[in-house]
């Protein structure tokens, strides 16, 4: 099947359909306050960095969001330990203050559940790279969320991120897609995303009881969630892996 990739800058009429596309993100991941506040802004303020793929019937089957930011600005220079959250904050701070961007960061690549396994994630990653190059950038960075890490929530991310297969490619499938596109592992972002909520909210998001103090393994979580029943809340601090794509 042929897929047509476009940007929202080219097709602003597709915005609602891009956001309406079904995805497979765990509910709790969507509760990150930085993402909640800033992710929807990308489509409105940076539409040239929102890509989507349509199938032959015109159905949106994948999307890719990225943002430009100034990695070389004063006080930066290094990819942040707060990963995904930090780069979103940097991007919109730079946009507001008129700071010239020098780097593009991937924010998300999503594929509709019924279209997964068809190579669309790699297609959208390539499209994101091509888009950044066309916009004049020389590098794309990505706070990668390894998509098989949830099977090993107690394995340290530093260990997992550097695990290789016999062929020298990363053990993790999503990291492997990035590596095949030319990316290299740079560092671990230990606090890339933080989600906190009441125990009742966590029960609603996960269907788990959240009634025992300590680390709770949650389906889809890359590390355990810290539960504090006496305080009435639980906190999830997700590590990601910074990967860098030279263009």
Output the CA torsion 114→194→238→72 (10° steps).
100
pLDDT value of residue 202:
98
Q: Each residue of 45-93: pLDDT tens digit? A: 999 999 999 999 999 999 999 999 999 999 999 999 999 999 999 999 9
How confident is the model over 24-47, as a mean pLDDT?
Answer: 97
Q: Each residue of 151-184: pLDDT tens digit? A: 999 999 999 999 999 999 999 999 999 999 999 9
Contact between residue 46 and residue 38 where contact means Cβ atoms under 8 Å apart: no
pLDDT value of residue 2:
87
Q: What is the pTM of this model?
A: 0.97
Confidence of residue 116 (pLDDT cuts 50, 70, 90): very high
CB count in 10 Å sphere of residue 79: 21
CA distances from 79 to 5, 104, 105, 157 (A): 29, 12, 10, 17
pLDDT value of residue 1:
79
Q: Cβ neighbours of residue 196 under 8 Å, at least 6 residues apart?
A: 233, 234, 235, 236
Instruction: Work out the percent of the chain whose per-residue pLDDT is above 90.
Output: 99
How confident is the model over 129-145, as a mean pLDDT?
Answer: 98
How confident is the model over 202-211, as a mean pLDDT?
Answer: 98
């Amino acid at each position: 099947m042929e897929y047509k990739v476009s940007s929202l800058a080219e097709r602003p009429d597709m915005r609602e359909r891009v956001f309406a596309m079904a995805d497979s993100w765990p509910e709790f991941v969507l509760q990150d306050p930085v993402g909640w506040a800033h992710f929807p802004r990308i489509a409105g303020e940076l539409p040239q960095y929102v890509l989507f793929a349509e199938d032959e019937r015109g159905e949106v089957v994948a999307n890719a969001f990225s943002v430009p930011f100034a990695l070389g600005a004063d006080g930066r220079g290094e990819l942040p330990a707060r990963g995904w959250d930090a780069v979103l904050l940097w991007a919109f701070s730079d946009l507001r203050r008129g700071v010239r961007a020098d780097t593009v960061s991937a924010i998300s690549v999503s594929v509709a559940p019924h279209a997964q396994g068809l190579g669309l994630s790699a297609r959208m990653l390539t499209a994101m790279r091509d888009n950044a190059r066309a916009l004049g950038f020389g590098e794309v960075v990505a706070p990668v969320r390894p998509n098989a890490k949830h099977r090993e929530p107690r394995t340290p991310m530093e260990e997992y991120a550097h695990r290789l297969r016999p062929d020298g490619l990363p053990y993790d499938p999503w990291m492997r897609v990035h590596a095949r596109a030319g990316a290299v592992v740079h560092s671990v972002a230990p606090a890339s995303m933080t989600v906190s909520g009441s125990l009742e909210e966590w029960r609603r998001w996960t269907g788990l009881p959240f009634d025992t103090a300590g680390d709770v393994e949650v389906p889809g979580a890359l590390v355990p969630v810290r539960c504090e029943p006496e305080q009435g809340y639980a906190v999830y601090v997700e590590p990601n892996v910074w990967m860098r794509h030279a263009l």
